[in-house]
Amino acid sequence: MPERIYNFSPGPATLPREVLAQASEDIINYNNTGMGLVELSHRSGEFMAIAEETEALLRELLNIPANYKVLFLQGGASTQFAMIPMNLLGAGKKATYLNTGTWAKKAIKEANIIAEADVAYSSEADSFNHVPDQADYSVAPESEYLYFVSNNTIYGTQFKQFPQSEKMLVCDMSSDILSREIDIKPFGLIFAGAQKNMGPAGATVVIIRDDLLDRTPDSVPTMFRYKTHADKGSMFNTPPCFAIYTIGLVLKWLKKIGGVAEIEKINREKAALLYKAIDKTDFFKGHARENSRSMMNITFNLPSPELESRLVTDALDAGFSGLKGHRSIGGLRASIYNAFPRQGVVDLIDFMEEFAKKNG
């Protein structure tokens, strides 16, 4: 097995090689302190500088307005499914949700425990193979916000244009944050697990508008209040230090290669290459409708489950890991996040074409 293989995993996912190299040094001796990165106190000057720089870089790359807080939280993105309605709704209030996949369904379930989730649209009957157009749903007038998942890792779908609403938007961007330019201002809250486009597992980034911090009902426990963490600069308790540090390295890498605008061009090219290879033969069939296709997670099928299993096995032998589709849908999935190299897509296409010749 070579030192580095192509990792198509949906997350934790590929990180830039230079980030891994720097982290491997700093985890033993950070900046000549005589201590490893994971040994530093989160209240030390060294780590506070890391956290401040990481936040500043994220604000710069996403053009986050000054009236938004940036939080680095634990608990995974799934904790946000409950924290959002706990903080922004409370009993007796309603929000509108778009059900476009597994993670939206989980968020809807949690919201209904706390308040009321009005499901304005669902693509479940079509195996979640698309996201809705603006005309396909309406937002309930009494809703506090419109919730959606920008990119669906399992089914390989993505909103090409974000929903528009008089209500503020709340979005799970776990699998496509920093992959394309966005306008933060229509959003009340954006959250994203780090382990796809930002860094390792262990941290969840929350971007929340200032005025929302005081909406939390008194019944919400201290640790589940956004204001608790905003008031303490994400240092109310020990934060996920290593994950924050690594996010900072990834953001430096992204800035160096040209920022979000440049990575968006690269991402569009990578995805277009792979979709073209899928579409040019009947041997491969994409799962998502063409107008809903994801740039991050390309999902497709072969003529039979047996051939899909064989491709996964042969691909691993050839140095391509993580191509097996999610257990809930099967098939194949190639996750090509920001740090995934273009050459890996080219090499996968060559492998797929050869596999089709042998097995078609």
Element (H, E) at 228: helix 226-231
Give me the catalytic one of 26, 69, 94, 103. Answer: 103
Distance spanning both ends of the chain, measured CA to CA: 28
- Is-catalytic flag, 324? no
Whole-number Å distance between alpha carbons of 289 and 160 = 12
- Is-catalytic flag, 26? no
Whole-number Å distance between alpha carbons of 80 and 75 = 8
**Any idea of the CA torsion for 28, 30, 36, 41, to the nearest 10 degrees?**
-170
Q: Is 48 helix (H, G, I), strand (E, B) or coil?
A: helix
Whole-number Å distance between alpha carbons of 41 and 239 = 10
Token pair listed for 95:
């929000």
Q: Is 88 helix (H, G, I), strand (E, B) or coil?
A: helix
Give me the catalytic one of 167, 172, 227, 270. Answer: 172
Question: What are the phi and psi torsion angles at 100 (to 5°)?
Answer: -120, 15
Cβ atoms of residues 63 and 55 within 8 Å: no
- Give how far Cα 37 sits from Cα of 64, 186, 198, 202, Å: 28, 37, 18, 15
- Give how far Cα 131 sits from Cα of 1, 325, 335, Å: 39, 19, 19
Count Cβ atoms below 10 Å from residue 135 Cβ, excluding itself: 6
Give me the catalytic one of 167, 196, 227, 270. Answer: 196
Cβ atoms of residues 241 and 7 within 8 Å: no
- Is-catalytic flag, 160? no
Dump strand ranges (E) for the chain. 6-7, 68-73, 94-99, 116-122, 143-149, 151-152, 157-158, 168-172, 187-193, 204-209, 285-286, 297-301, 320-321, 332-335
Active site residues per annotation: 103, 172, 196
